[in-house]
Chain A
Amino acid sequence: MIELTDIRKAFNQGRENEFHALGGIDLQLPAQRVTALRGPSGSGKTTLLSIIGCLSRPTSGRVRLKGQDISGLPERFLTDIRRQTFGFVFQQFNLIKGLSALENVMLPAYPLGGDWRELHEKAQRLLGDLRLSHRREARVEWLSGGEQQRVAIARALINDPEIIIADEPTANLDTALSMEFMAILEKLSASGKTVILTSHDPLVVDSSIVHQVVDMRDGRVVRQDTTRNTMESPA
């Protein structure tokens, strides 16, 4: 599904504070699996995640998505791929304050210009699936942390992406809500979505739902465990 070859990322290149976040990453991320990037803060896992999700480009190296090299594409095409292929759940949820839950869910579909009624119904259905129907007209800042995350998940799913990207999904949740998130994750995985997430929460990375754990430190992969749960994997 996604192949990374010798990915390097440097910030502030050529300046005094030049800093290499990633130093040569080779990684294979199979389709319809749940992959967790694990590592301490500063290990480069979020940087890697943003490169995988086409949010940023590597300084060098290749990213292949379904066999197509996308690392050299101009921004317009990257945006298009990002919109069609990826759904994002950010650590801070990154919902647009002041808008209703429903509007937030619909936002990624706006630039596509599809039928409004269909979109509206789909967003309602997604919110319903995540048990948020009663909160759909509420402004997002009035929602609890768990509710906000569910809105963020619904938003990630609105364009039917193949791949869900989640950055530290349980960092702002207590145990009960984290468990709930894992249950949602399991459903998504069962429905055939590829999930890539970062976490150092044992509740996530040690869970049986995660098929593959990639350990990172100082911008490099230190261990890759691809053998877990192969029995449960649908592939």
Chain B
Amino acid sequence: MSVARPSHLLLIAVFFAAGIFIATFADAAWLRHQRGSATEQNRALVTQLQLTDLCLFTEARYTRHLSQADLHSAFQDHPLGLEKFPTGSLVAPPAHLIAAHERLDRQAAIPD
């Protein structure tokens, strides 16, 4: 006689799920410990070089140094302006700008 009741299987599944859910928190604590040294290195570098920003975006100066952006550069027109996302992130730089750079690249011999 099989006594594999669906709700018993569920109970096992619930314990398992609760287990992995809790495991993520344990793992988080362990990883925090592991990665703490990188964070401290970053902080030391920030202090040493007097850095002001994270290097998350390197494409535009107002996103590379988010906090140092000019008053009138892009999305600083208004502190909550969303300019950079609808356009800056969804539209490629104008083709003629890239093309100009590419032509120059080919004309000038690049050493190294």
Residues of A within 8 A of B (CB): 116-117, 120, 124
Contacts and interface: CB of A to CB of B under 8 A. Distances in A.
B99 interface: no
Interface in B1-57: 1, 3, 5
Interface residues on B, range: under 10
Nearest to B6: A103
5 contacts: A116-B5, A117-B3, A120-B1, A120-B3, A124-B1
Contacts of A120: 1, 3
Contacts of B3: 117, 120
Contacts of A117: 3
A187 to B, nearest CB: 26
Contacts of B5: 116
Contacts of B1: 120, 124
A209 to B, nearest CB: 35
A124 B1 CA distance: 10
Nearest to A116: B5
Nearest to A117: B3
Nearest to A121: B1
A28 B5 CA distance: 44
A117 B1 CA distance: 11
A117 B5 CA distance: 10
Contacts of A124: 1
- Across chains A and B, which 5 residue pairs bring their CB atoms closest together, nearest first? A116-B5, A120-B3, A117-B3, A124-B1, A120-B1
A116 B5 CA distance: 9
A124 B3 CA distance: 13
B4 to A, nearest CB: 11
A77 B1 CA distance: 36
A162 to B, nearest CB: 30
A116 B3 CA distance: 10
A120 B1 CA distance: 10
A124 B5 CA distance: 15
Contacts of A116: 5
A54 to B, nearest CB: 30
B54 to A, nearest CB: 55
